[in-house]
Structure 1
């Protein structure tokens, strides 16, 4: 019932617009601060790895292993992916362009931050992003998806 309302209702698309603008603004400002202010993920990654030890670790061992053996050696890649990914997610949500995809990748980043032991606003953003992802195309109805998605359906859809 709620899923159907999120996916089909015009009133839901207006509510989703407000959610999109809020979440998109959070991503855009966070990413833009990293792009313009210089960003180095090494400190964050080392801090997350450090939170994986002790009596009550905040970071699970499997995630710390991923951070230590993949993310940290490739920190240069993450120094680009994180800030520009945040900016792109923010722009996508604000403009309503590939909306559910932008929200999905926002969720991926939020989960990565949560797995790394950082709560902040990540849990709240995940909850809001779930509504956007579940709503699918209706989340971008009041946005550029209104114009973009029909083109993709005609060009790449069923014939």
Structure 2
């Protein structure tokens, strides 16, 4: 019943829009701060996470540390671009309510990456709010550009499928 309310109720879409815009502002400001500073370097954060793998109660699991060591750190230049622009674009998409489901999924992915790296800050709160938005599906973007974007894309795909029957298979 709760999921049905989240997914279909018009008053829930208003509350979801408020949550979505709040999270969007948080992401946008975090990303914009990193972009405009010109000094963002994720390597310190990644090396700090590796140090949290040791001790009696490590906050970073070995599998995540292996990912950081073998994938993220060797390609830190890529992550130095991906993180700030990812945060910024997730923020823009959530504020505008465009591709909301994909944007919140990417936001949740970043939140979990930060938590896997041993930080908390506002990440658990953002995950909780993001889960409501994700569970709401299309209703989370009804007060936003998704209201017009999804019907347009659906019509476009249907027209394309009608012209090319192989797509429908």
Q: Same fold (TM over 0.5)?
A: yes
For residues 16-95 of structure 1, the aligned pairs below 5 Å read: 16-37=16-37, 38-95=39-96
Q: Spell out, residue by residue over 1:110-144, the C-alpha distance to the aligned partner (whole angstroms, 9 max, x if none).
A: 00000000000000000000111111111000000
Work out the CA distance in 1 between the residues paired with 2:133 and 2:157: 23
Work out the CA distance in 2 between the residues paired with 1:84 and 1:148: 23
Select the structure of larger CA radius of gyration.
2
Q: Spell out, residue by residue over 1:15-57, the C-alpha distance to the aligned partner (whole angstroms, 9 max, x if none).
A: 0011011100000000000001121000000000110011111
TM-score (norm 1): 0.97
Instruction: Name the structure 2 match of 1:98.
Output: 99
Q: Spell out, residue by residue over 1:58-98, the C-alpha distance to the aligned partner (whole angstroms, 9 max, x if none).
A: 10000001001110000000001100000010001000000
Instruction: Name the structure 1 match of 2:2.
Output: 2
TM-score (norm 2): 0.92
Give the C-alpha shift of residue 156 in structure 1.
2.0
Work out the CA distance in 1 between the residues paired with 2:7 and 2:154: 17
Work out the CA distance in 1 between the residues paired with 2:57 and 2:97: 41
Q: Which runs of 5+ in 1 are unaligned?
A: none
Work out the CA distance in 2 between the residues paired with 1:48 and 1:109: 15
